[in-house]
Amino acid sequence: MESLIQNFFNLEIYAAVFPYLLRGLWTTVWLSALVIPLGAAAGLALALGLTQSDSRAVRWSIVGYIDFFRAFPPLVLLILIYFGGPFLGIELGKVTAVALAFVLNNASYYAEVFRAGLEGVAKGQMEAARSTGLTRAQALRHVVVPQAVKNVVPDLVGNSIEIVKLTSIASVVAMPELLRAARDAQSLVFNPSPVMLAAFMYLALLWPLTRWLGRLEHRRARR
Amino acid sequence: MTGGDSGFFFTFFNLAVAKQYWPNIAAGMLVTVGVGIAVVVTGTVLGLWLAVVRALGRRALALPIVAFADIMRSLPPLVVLIVLYFGLPALGLPLSAFAVTWLSLSLVLAAYAEESIWAGICAVPSGQLEAARSTGMRWWQAMRWVVLPQALRRAVPPLTNRVISITKNTALGSVVALNEILNNAQGASSYSGNPTPLTMAAFAYLVVFLPLVVLSRWLEQRWQRR
Amino acid sequence: MPILEVTGLRKSYGSTEVLRGVDLHVNAGELVCVIGPSGSGKSTMLRCCNLLETPTGGRILANGHDVTSATVDINRLRQDIGMVFQQFNLYPHLTALDNVSLALRKVQRRPKAEAEALAQVALEQVGLGGKARSFPAELSGGQQQRVGIARAVALKPHVILFDEPTSALDPELVEDVLNVMRDLRQRGMTMLVVTHEMSFAHAAADRVVFMDGGVVVEQGSAADMFERPREARTQSFLARYGSRRS
C-alpha cells in the first residue's frame, strides 16, 4: 500500500512536475483546436460530395476513402507519415505530420456523421427551397446543411472528444503533448507518478465534456 | 533521396526486404488478430453484464458502474494502457504485454458497450417488462427473453463502429513492446534500414480491418431496414 | 395567351407511364382545380410544371417561356411559378419571416430590410402578420400552410401551383387555408390547384379539370363539371366523392 502511494500518488512529485505537465496539456489543447475544425470541414465536404454527386465514380471513391481511413489505425498512419516521409525526401515537421495524419483519419469519421445528418433532412426541404428559385448550392447552404448539422451535434461533440484523446498517440513521435510530458517526467524522476497525474488531468479535461455529451444525447433522444 | 520511379519502389516496396521479413509481419498479424478477438469477447461480455446489473436499479450498484463508464470513456486508451502497465507490477501483478493490452482495451470497450446497451435497454418501453413479469416470468427471464433482445437490436449498429475503433488500438500495444504488427514492422524497418516493413504493416492492417469496416457498413444497412 | 399551357405532357418512371398526354391551360387570373382519383397523375402533372419532375414528352409553356426546353434557366423560371406543398415543407430552423424572405434575399438579391418588409406584407396578406417571429414548430398546421402560401406569394409569381394544400390538415383548419386561397383569387392571382376539396372546387374555381389514368378526361366550367358531367368516368367519380371531402 505504502509503495503504491509512493509510486503513483506521490504528492511531492506531482507538485514538482505539474508545471511541466501543464505545458503538455496546453499542447494537447491547441493541437486539438487545430485538427478538429480541419477534420470537420474536410468531413463535411466529403459528406456533401457523397450525398449530392450524381457520379457513381465520385461516390464510390469517397466511400473508399472513408472506409480506408476507418480501417487504418491512426498510430500506424502517423508512423508511416512521420518516418516514411524522409525516405521520399519529404521532411515534414512534427506538427505537420501529426496534423496530416489526424485530419486524414478523422475526416472519415466526420464524413460519416455528416452523411447521416444530411440523409436525415426531409427531401421536401430541398424541393421547397428549389421551388422558390434557389440554386442547389444556395438550398444546401441555407436550408439543408444547417438542419443536418443541428441534428448531429451530439455526434460531432462525441467525435471531437475522441480526437482530444487521440492526441495522446502523438507522444509516440515525441510531440510534447500531455502524455509525452508525463512520460519524459517519469524517466527523469524514476517514478510513474507523473503518468498518474496526467491521467487525472485528462479526466479533469474530458469527464465534464463526456457528461455534457450524455446530456446532449439524452435531449436528442427525447425530441 | 534515391531518385527516379524505381527509387520509390526500391524504398517502399523492396521485394528482397519483404521476402525476408514477411514471416515477422505475419506473426504480428496473428498477435493483432488474437488480441482483437480477445478484446471483443471480454469487452462486450463485461459491458453486457454491467448494463444488466445497472438495470437492477440499485443505486449502490449503478453509481460505480456509471463512474467506471465515464472514466474509461474520458481517458485516452494509451493512458489506460500505460497506467496499467506500470501499475499492475506495483500491485504485485506483473502481466505480459499481451495481457496488459488485452485488459486495457477490454475495459475501454466494456465502458462503451455498457453505455450503448444501457441506452438500448432504456429505449425498450417499460410495458414490455411488465407484460413479461405478468405472465409469471422472473426478472432475469424477462430481461433475457424480452428486454435484451430488443435492446441489443438498437445497440448493435453504433456498437460495431466502436468495436472496430477500439480493436484498432491494438497497435498501441507496440508502445509497451507487444509483438504485434506495428512493433514487429518498426523493428524490422530499423534493422534493415528500409521502410518496406512499414508498407507491409499498412497492408497487413488493411487486410485485417477493411473487411470488418465493410461488414459493419453492411450490418448497419441491414439493421436499419428492420 | 394562357399563363400556363401544357400540351401532350408525358411522364414515365421506367416502364410505368404515369402521364399519357395531358393537355390543359390556365388563363390569367383563373383558378383552375384539378380533381381525380389517386394515381391519376394529378400531382405528377403539377410537379412537371416547375420541373420538380422531368417530363419524358410534351411541352409546357409558362408565361411564354418553354419550361421543357433544354436551355431553360430553371431558377429564374421558378421565381415566376410558385408552389405550395401538401406537407408544407417549411424550414424548421427559420422563423416564419425568414422562411418567406429567404428567396427574396438570396435569389432576388434584395437587401435584408427590403426583403423583410416584403415578407411581412406577404404574411399579413395571409393573416399571420403577428407570427413573423414564430418558428414553424410553434404554429398550427393551418398556420404553417398559410406561411407556405406567403412564401410562394412573396416572390410575386405569375402563377401558383397548389399540390393538395389541405390534405394534410385537420378538418377544423382547412377552412382558414381555403379562405386565404379565395382571397388570393380575389386579388387576381392565377392558380392551378390539385385538390380533393370538392365543395371548394365547385364554388371557387373558374374551371375544373378531371384527370384519370394519366389523361384529362373532361374539363369545363365548375358548374358544367359538377352539375352536368358528360363522361361516364367523371360521373362515377363525382357520384362517389361528389360534395364530400374524400
* Chains touching C by CB (3 or more pairs below 8 Å): A
* Residue B3 scores a pLDDT above 70: no
> Which of C156, C171, C191 is at the close of a domain?
C156
Q: Closest to B182 (Cβ–Cβ): which among A75, A199, A211?
A: A75
Looking at C25-140, list the stretches that DSSP marks H as alpha helix, in order from N- to C-terminal side. 42-49, 74-78, 96-106, 112-125
Q: Which of B81-90, B139-148, B179-188, C52-61 shows the lowest per-residue confidence on average (mean pLDDT)? A: B139-148
What is the model's pLDDT at position C187? 94
Q: pLDDT at position C210, please?
A: 95
Whether C221 maps to a domain, the answer reads yes
Report yes or no: A74 at the B interface, CB cutoff 8 Å: yes
In this structure, the answer to whether residues C70 and C177 fall within a common structural domain is yes
Q: Which of C141, C156, C171 is the last residue of a domain?
A: C156
Asked if the structure places residue B3 within a domain, the reply is: no
Q: Looking at residues B65-90, what average pLDDT do you find? A: 92
Decide: helix, strand or coil at residue C174.
Answer: helix
Q: Which of C98, B194, B69, B87 is nearest to A143 (CA)?
A: C98
pLDDT band at B4; cut points 50, 70, 90: very low
Examine residue C151 and state whether it is found in any structural domain, yes or no: yes
The answer on C164 and C150 residing in a single domain is no
- Locate cell 437490436: which residue? B153
Cell of residue B137, nine digits: 416470468
Residue ranges for chain A with pLDDT beneath 70:
1, 222-223
Domain-embedded: residue C237: yes
ipTM surpasses cut 0.90: no
pLDDT score at A35: 95
Q: Is C218 helix (H, G, I), strand (E, B) or coil?
A: strand
Q: Which among C75, C77, C92 has the least Cβ separation from residue A147?
A: C92
Strands C57-62 and C65-66: antiparallel
* Contact between residue C54 and residue C48 where contact means Cβ atoms under 8 Å apart: yes
d(Cα A108, Cα A4) in Å, to the nearest integer?
42
Contact between B159 and B111 (Cβ < 8 Å):
no
Would you say residue C87 lies in a domain? no
Instruction: Please give the Cα distance from A43 to A104 (Å, whole number).
Output: 9
pLDDT value of residue B5? 46
The total number of structural domains that make up chain B:
1
Q: pLDDT of C129-149, one tens digit each?
A: 999 999 999 999 999 999 999
CATH number at residue C27: 3.40.50.300
Q: Give the integer Cα–Cα distance in Å for A131 and C85.
A: 10
Q: What's the half-sphere exposure (Cβ side, CA atoms, 13 Å) at A60?
A: 3
B92-117 pLDDT, tens per residue?
888 899 999 999 999 999 999 998 89
Is pLDDT above 60 for C245? Answer: no
Supply the range of the domain harboring residue C114.
Answer: 92-156
Residue B34 has pLDDT above 90, yes or no: yes
Q: Do chains C and A touch (3 or more CB pairs under 8 A)?
A: yes
- Whether B2 is covered by a domain: the verdict is no
Percent of chain B whose predicted confidence (pLDDT) is above 70: 95
Here the CATH number for the domain that contains residue B19 is 1.10.3720.10
CB A182 within 8 A of CB A118: no
Contact C25, C59 (CB under 8 A): no
pLDDT in the model for residue C200: 92
- What's the mean pLDDT in B26-36? 92
Same domain? For C182 and C70 the reply is: yes
How far A28 CA lies from chain B's nearest CA (Å)?
A: 12
Q: If phi over 0 gives left and psi between -120 and 50 gives alpha, with beta otherwise, what is residue C188?
A: left
User: What is the per-residue pLDDT across B41-57, written as a single tens digit (0 to 9) for each?
Assistant: 999 999 999 999 999 98
pLDDT for res B2:
44
CB contact (8 A) between residue B75 and residue A73: no
The overall average pLDDT reported for chain B is 86
Q: Is pLDDT above 60 for C31?
A: yes
The identity of residue A88, as a single letter, is: L
Domain of residue B192 covers 12-224
Q: How far apart are CA A212 and CA A170, in angstroms?
A: 26
Q: What pLDDT was estimated at residue B1? A: 43
Contact pairs from chain A to chain B, CB under 8 Å:
122
% pLDDT > 90, chain B: 40
Longest distance between any two alpha carbons in chain C, whole Å? 56
- Residue at grid coordinates 516493413: B197
Q: Are residues C73 and C170 in the same domain?
A: yes
End-to-end CA distance of chain B: 56
- Closest by CA to C195, choosing from C228, C167, C237, C216, is C167
Average pLDDT rounded to a whole number, residues C216-233: 92
Confidence of residue B221 (pLDDT cuts 50, 70, 90): confident
Q: Which domains does chain A have, with CATH numbers?
A: 2-222 (1.10.3720.10)
Whether residue C75 is predicted with pLDDT greater than 80 in this model: the reply is yes
Cell numbers at C59, concatenated: 411541352
Neighbouring C-beta atoms of residue A211, cutoff 10 Å: 13
pLDDT of residue B68: 95
* Closest alpha carbon to A29 in A177, A184, A157, A141: A177
Residue C85 lies in a domain: no
Q: Does residue C86 lie within any of the structural domains?
A: no
Residue C208 covered by a domain: yes
| Band of residue C98 on the pLDDT scale cut at 50, 70, 90 | very high
Q: Where a domain ends, among C140, C156, C172?
A: C156
Mean per-residue pLDDT, C216-223 = 93
pLDDT class of C242 with cuts at 50, 70, 90 = low
Q: Does the structure show a pLDDT above 80 at C188?
A: yes
Residues of A in contact with B75 (CB under 8 A): 165, 199, 202-203, 206
Q: How high is the pLDDT of residue C243? A: 54
Q: Tell whether the model's pLDDT for residue B62 goes beyond 60.
A: yes
Contact C103 A124 (CB under 8 A): no
In chain C, how many domains are there?
2
Distance from CA of A12 to the nearest CA of B (A): 19
So what's the pLDDT on residue A25? 94
Q: What pTM was computed for the model?
A: 0.79
Are C225 and C196 in a shared domain?
Answer: yes
